Structure 1
């Protein structure tokens, strides 16, 4: 199995787009994960540029936030069809609302499935606060009832939602791992979705909880031809700034690079060596 690494556009939006793509390619990423504007010309130009540089694409949906279910459905469909036209490997979608009923969120899953069948572009659904999958136990209920549903696992959100490292929700975590088709590799903790800097030994315990989950995820998927990973430490306010200077406590780009390289080192032989021990700092 090959692990393919994707660079998030998040945090680099102010950089000239071609410069961002070239920087991601030079850094060793296999592709980029990003949303696209609804403007057809701009969308097509960006998609063409990604392809011309030999980069792969994961299209990302997060913009649909409407409270009214009918309006939400309309805008959700518009966004997904727009993304499908960029010919990505798949679409990663932040879907629905945490306060929507099961049936209301299922309407969106069904719509996404219809679009996926029609366009040939798979659509998977990210675990995220504020969405259908805001907590481990809620996600398990959906996955129990919808066994074919595939997810992007970002377990950092569940740590802050549950205010724990989910030690008492192992069944829900295992269920999620078995349904995961893509990984967002960010380290959360019990009071936030992103530690200030995972390279610092003080955050070693939080990192190791995530590494244990990721080890199991990679093992579950090791027979696949490839598996995709996006190191997704985010920009402010996920990234914490110094309270006086306002300067970031860490470089988002450097942290994501460090995470990608940690994965490359840890899984270089895909379990021909023991990866169960704690990370050294």
Structure 2
């Protein structure tokens, strides 16, 4: 099994895209995960792909900002976004899709629209989207056999206020359908522990490693490439001291730590 690691652009926007790509390459990443907003211009996207190519980095495209509450407008904007990124080569698309309050039929229309894309689209497990909880996505996975996901269990842990010990059936099916992993560690009161290296978060880390190991095992058996994006984020995901306003840990360092931990684990 080959494992490829993708560095999130999220949190490093202060760097130029050329500096970001160089830094990601020097850190040992295989690619970048780049969020493309609906407002992105052709000039901006061309620059991203050119700079990634110069650094010999692959790209996973991320969709995140279709947020309209009115479904028909939401649907049209989502389809427009899919059309926008059509010409750009990417390993896959990670899509934060739909809304938690849209109906099954409405979210299924968005999933169907994504399937018309000329790239593999994976629907990220994320709060506020149709994938917001393990127990609700279970119905989608059962009824839509072609549905594939990006597993970010940190959101589900937060939503359920538990480490999902009582939702094994839903987790097993989600793992079977996973083609990309966001390696962030959540806990019952939040989607990101302050520092996964700290002893007090050992149980949280081990629960997520348990799920990621199962994904890796399936990819190993199928002789498929496993893609992982360590995705510890900036404020407000990153805890800041209320006195100094400083983050309790460095985002870049945490993501590099997670990448190297998993490189060694799945070597």
- TM-score, length of structure 2 as denominator length: 0.97
Distance in 2 separating the partners of 1:185 and 1:74: 31
Q: How does 1:118-267 map to 2 (within 5 A)?
A: 120-222=118-220, 223-267=222-266
Contact 1:31/1:56 (<8 A) preserved: yes
How far did residue 52 of structure 1 move?
A: 2.3
CA offsets per residue over residues 32-72 of structure 1, 9 Å max, x none? 00123521112112112212221000000001000011110
How far did residue 244 of structure 1 move?
A: 0.4
Distance in 2 separating the partners of 1:16 and 1:162: 38
How far did residue 80 of structure 1 move?
A: 1.9
Provide the residue aligned with 2:54 in structure 1.
52
Contact 1:61/1:91 (<8 A) preserved: yes
Tell me which of 88, 98, 101 is aligned to 1:99: 101
Query: Number of residue pairs matched?
Result: 264
How far did residue 225 of structure 1 move?
A: 3.4
Contact 1:84/1:91 (<8 A) preserved: no
Distance in 2 separating the partners of 1:93 and 1:53: 25
3-state DSSP of counterpart to 2:129? coil
Distance in 2 separating the partners of 1:52 and 1:110: 34
3-state DSSP of counterpart to 2:61? strand
Provide the residue aligned with 1:278 in structure 2.
none
Provide the residue aligned with 1:17 in structure 2.
17
Contact 1:35/1:83 (<8 A) preserved: no
CA offsets per residue over residues 133-177 of structure 1, 9 Å max, x none? 100000111000011100000000000100000000000000100
The answer for unaligned runs of 5 or more in structure 1 is 269-281
3-state DSSP of counterpart to 1:221? helix
Distance in 2 separating the partners of 1:221 and 1:84: 27
The answer for unaligned runs of 5 or more in structure 2 is none
Say yes or no: does 1:42 pair with 2:44: yes
How far did residue 180 of structure 1 move?
A: 0.4
3-state DSSP of counterpart to 1:25? helix
Tell me which of 75, 78, 81 is aligned to 1:79: 81
Distance in 2 separating the partners of 1:10 and 1:225: 27
User: What RMSD, in angstroms, separates the aligned Cα atoms of the two structures?
Assistant: 0.9
Which is further off, 32-41 or 162-171?
32-41
Provide the residue aligned with 1:65 in structure 2.
67
Distance in 1 separating the partners of 2:229 and 2:262: 11
Distance in 1 separating the partners of 2:165 and 2:100: 23
Contact 2:10/2:35 (<8 A) preserved: no
